[in-house]
């Protein structure tokens, strides 16, 4: 059965469908909340003031992730991971339905939108490590790489479809995307309820706080992994332009909510295309240098987008941005997946997810503050320039990562040491591991 498809397995089919439905629902909800916040704010505020509230939405999602992710990783290693995901999905479904109800009652304001943003952050904090830990228990180890690739495809389809559907639905009716998102969460929940019992995680008998610290120490001691995560964190934290997309869609490019959906989908399309190329022609030599080069390209593409006033150029720069970012995710995901034993998978996934969330949601907060202070164009272009600068700094600060030459599978001794040494080579990637930065989150 080593060459069988993961879809031969009933539980994996249900899990894959749940992941696809929830990803579309989540990305749709996140995009529409951003549009809605900006539209409400612009009724009484300037562009700069409304940009500030977009940044605050990012902060509202990040704070629960920051406070709860490491705890959620410990929980994922101790309790039934299926129920963690089910409860998260139920909470997100009710949140989307509540927003639809408020629109029907003509009672929508910024407060419920921020409240739901917090709930989404809580749901993602617990769903990330649980989702990342379920798939290895649904198929034999021999076909796990294929399952990982299919998981990434489900995520990538959702990352492209969600913004496009959400933007188009919002243009038809303000309540429609919330109704559609709630329905998709319900479908995902139904699929997760079909999963049969799977082995629980095993965090050992360590005190919860000590178990969390063990996960942090595991990442800290692997210098190449730490360098890759740090590079990604600061480059996207400083260079992320996602929070400013509603501003560009409405007031700079003037393409409306449908155009915003296309702008949000463009990086995912770039990432998906790159992932397919890496699946066919994986990186073999000079992987460290190539990763630094691509993160630098990410910063330059961000600067081009910030200056663009032409929709085609904006979409092209966002495509390149997503494609270059994909290489960083590809390398980092490969390291984590092969260097993490199952007993620590939840906690290590939580640590990685916390860094990813910090770079995304906290990056949106940074962009919102900069947009309010200096204007959206300066916020985006300046962020891209800072991303290029931090790439150069990390290349100097993490020479072992810069000099990493090729992917090699770690032997048992190296795996047991948990990456405590600066190794010249890095772990071999699984098939298309990490098709997108948020694919590692598996948000609800």
Residues written for the chain: 444
Between the CA of residue 320 and those of 202, 229, 364, 386, what are the distances in Å? Answer: 41, 21, 19, 18
Domains, in order of start, for the chain: 10-440 (1.20.1250.20)
Can you give the pLDDT at residue 338?
A: 56
- Model confidence pLDDT, tens digit, residues 209-246: 666 676 667 666 666 667 777 777 777 777 777 778 88
Higher pLDDT, 214 or 319: 319
- Tell me if the pTM is above 0.85: no
Can you give the pLDDT at residue 413?
A: 40
- pLDDT band of 424, cuts 50, 70, 90: very low
- pLDDT band of 90, cuts 50, 70, 90: very high
Task: Give the ranges where 194-310 is alpha helix by DSSP (H).
Answer: 208-221, 223-239, 245-247, 256-280, 287-307
- Model confidence pLDDT, tens digit, residues 16-40: 999 999 999 998 998 899 889 988 9
- Residue among 233, 278, 442 nearest 346 (CA): 442
Task: Determine what percent of the chain is predicted with pLDDT higher than 70.
Answer: 75
pLDDT of 132 above 50: yes
Is residue 441 within 8 A of residue 130, CB to CB? The reply is no
What CA–CA distance (Å, rounded) separates 421 from 408?
A: 15
- Model confidence pLDDT, tens digit, residues 160-193: 888 889 888 998 999 999 999 999 999 999 999 9
Query: In which region does residue 183 sit, left (phi positive, over 0), alpha (psi from -120 to 50) or beta (all else)?
Result: alpha
- Residue among 117, 332, 325 nearest 239 (CA): 325
């Amino acid at each position: 059965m080593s060459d069988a498809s993961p879809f031969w397995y009933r539980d994996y089919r249900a899990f894959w469908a749940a992941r696809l439905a929830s990803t579309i629902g989540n990305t749709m909800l996140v995009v529409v909340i951003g549009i809605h916040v900006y539209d409400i704010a612009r009724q009484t505020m300037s562009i700069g003031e409304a940009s500030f509230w977009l940044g605050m939405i990012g902060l509202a999602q990040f704070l629960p992730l920051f406070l709860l992710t490491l705890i959620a990783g410990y929980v994922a290693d101790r309790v039934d991971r299926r129920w963690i995901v089910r409860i998260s999905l139920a909470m997100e479904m009710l949140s989307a339905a509540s927003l639809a109800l408020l629109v029907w009652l003509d009672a929508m304001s910024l407060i419920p939108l921020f409240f739901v943003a917090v709930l989404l952050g809580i749901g993602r904090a617990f769903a990330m490590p649980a989702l990342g830990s379920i798939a290895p228990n649904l198929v034999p180890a021999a076909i796990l790489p294929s399952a990982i690739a299919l998981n990434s495809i489900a995520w990538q389809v959702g990352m492209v479809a969600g913004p496009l559907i959400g933007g188009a639905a919002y243009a038809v009716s303000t309540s429609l995307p919330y109704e559609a998102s709630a329905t998709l969460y319900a479908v995902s929940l139904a699929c997760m309820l079909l999963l049969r019992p799977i082995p629980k995680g095993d965090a050992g008998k360590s005190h919860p706080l000590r178990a969390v610290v063990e996960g942090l120490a595991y990442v800290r001691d692997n210098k190449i992994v730490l360098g890759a995560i740090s590079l990604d964190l600061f480059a996207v934290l400083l260079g992320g332009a996602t929070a400013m997309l509603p501003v560009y869609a409405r007031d700079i490019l003037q393409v409306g909510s449908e155009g915003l959906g296309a702008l949000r989908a463009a990086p995912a399309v770039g990432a998906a295309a790159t992932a397919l190329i890496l699946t066919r022609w994986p990186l073999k030599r000079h992987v460290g240098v190539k990763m630094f080069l691509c993160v630098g390209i990410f910063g330059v593409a961000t600067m081009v987008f910030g200056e663009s006033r032409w929709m085609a150029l904006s979409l092209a720069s966002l495509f390149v941005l997503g494609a270059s970012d994909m290489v960083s995710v590809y390398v980092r995901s490969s390291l984590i997946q092969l260097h993490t034993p199952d007993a620590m998978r939840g906690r290590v996934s939580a640590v990685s997810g916390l860094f990813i969330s910090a770079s995304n949601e906290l990056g949106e907060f940074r962009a919102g503050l900069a947009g309010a202070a200096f204007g959206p164009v300066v916020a985006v272009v300046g962020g891209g320039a800072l991303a290029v600068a931090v790439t150069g700094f990390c290349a100097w600060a993490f020479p072992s990562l810069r000099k990493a030459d090729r992917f090699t599978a770690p032997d048992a001794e190296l795996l047991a040491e948990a990456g405590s040494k600066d190794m010249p080579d890095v772990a071999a990637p699984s098939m298309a591991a990490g098709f997108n930065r948020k694919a590692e989150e598996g948000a609800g």
